Amino acid sequence: AQSVAQPEDQVNVAEGNPLTVKCTYSVSGNPYLFWYVQYPNRGLQFLLKYITGDNLVKGSYGFEAEFNKSQTSFHLKKPSALVSDSALYFCAVRANHSGYALNFGKGTSLLVTP
Amino acid sequence: NAGVMQNPRHLVRRRGQEARLRCSPMKGHSHVYWYRQLPEEGLKFMVYLQKENIIDESGMPKERFSAEFPKEGPSILRIQQVVRGDSAAYFCASSPETFYEQYFGPGTRLTVT
């Protein structure tokens, strides 16, 4: 079975400070990992993905994520947060050899204060 | 290039009625996925379709729910005899190939009264 855990329901950070949104996963085989962002009453927007290759993945809007196989983690990071980054962030995983569904975490609400 | 389109954006149905949710994938995308988001929860996979074929419906409830993706026209998620527990946001996603990232529509928010 594949699963994703986002241990923090909410992350608060001041504008200009670095931010981290945590994600750990469980999957048999090599994972495909994704981050999405959801603004209120909107659909999910794709931020970035890890399939293979470099462990540090760069995505949209200045976000990046680091794949750590030994810790089974894929934390989302940004060096300098913006107020407009405030939204709901979802981590998702799919095993590369089975199924088509993305398994999503419960989401982490990010609040960036001025 | 227009994104994934879903309609209606909001749908209100009384218990026992039918709900039909429509999804038009992005241009060039032939893979469609439906997910459901219940309040305070993440998205849960329901069904994966290609044109005229249901590939994986392992997340679909066994009764009252069905999905199709005809050769022409949008994908349809159909819920018969809706109950209050069906109230949720239903998202459609599409991808050009199976293992690419999925692009999501704005969702249909179904309210059952």
Is residue B1 scored above 60 in pLDDT? Answer: no
Is residue A1 scored above 90 in pLDDT? Answer: no
- What size, in residues, is chain B? 113
pLDDT for position A5 = 95
Measured from the Cβ of residue A25, the count of other Cβ atoms closer than 10 Å reads 21
Q: How far is B43 from chain A (nearest CA, A)?
A: 6
pLDDT for position B38 = 87
Is residue B98 scored above 80 in pLDDT? Answer: no
Q: Where are the alpha helices (DSSP H) in chain B?
A: none
Instruction: Tell me if A101 and B105 make a contact (CB, 8 A cut-off).
Output: no
| Residue of A23, A100, A106 to mutate for B, most B C-beta atoms under 10 A | A100
- Cα gap A86→A38, rounded to integer Å: 10
- Cα gap B106→B57, rounded to integer Å: 22
Is residue A98 scored above 70 in pLDDT? Answer: no
Closest chain B residue by Cα to residue A93: B101
- Cα gap A24→B67, rounded to integer Å: 32
Is residue A101 within 8 Å of residue B33, measured between CB atoms? Answer: yes
| pLDDT higher at B10 or A100 | B10
| Residue of B35, B54, B102, B109 to mutate for A, most A C-beta atoms under 10 A | B102
How confident is the model over A3-50, as pLDDT tens digits? 899 999 999 999 999 999 999 999 888 889 999 999 987 889 999 999
Nearest to A44 among B44, B58, B104 (CB): B104
Least confident of A65-74, B35-44, B69-78: B35-44
Is residue A100 scored above 70 in pLDDT? Answer: yes
Three-state secondary structure readout of A38-54: ECCCCCEEEEEEECCCC
Measured from the Cβ of residue B40, the count of other Cβ atoms closer than 10 Å reads 8
Q: B99 phi and psi, to 5 degrees?
A: -100, 15
| Residues contacting residue B14 through CB under 8 Å, at least 6 positions apart | B82, B112, B113
How confident is the model over A58-83, as pLDDT tens digits? 999 999 999 999 999 999 999 999 99
Q: How far is B52 from chain A (nearest CA, A)?
A: 17
| Residues contacting residue A20 through CB under 8 Å, at least 6 positions apart | A11, A75, A76, A77
Tokens of A14: 């001041």
Tokens of A49: 């993905």
pLDDT for position A2 = 80
Which residue, B3, B52, B54, is CA-closest to B27?
A: B3
pLDDT for position B106 = 93
Residue A97 pLDDT level (bands cut at 50, 70, 90)? low
Residue at B107: amino acid letter: G
Measured from the Cβ of residue A29, the count of other Cβ atoms closer than 10 Å reads 10
Which residue, A1, A6, A2, A28, is CA-closest to A73?
A: A6
Q: How far is B98 from chain A (nearest CA, A)?
A: 7
How confident is the model over B4-24, as pLDDT tens digits? 999 999 999 999 999 999 999
Average pLDDT over residues B51-73: 92
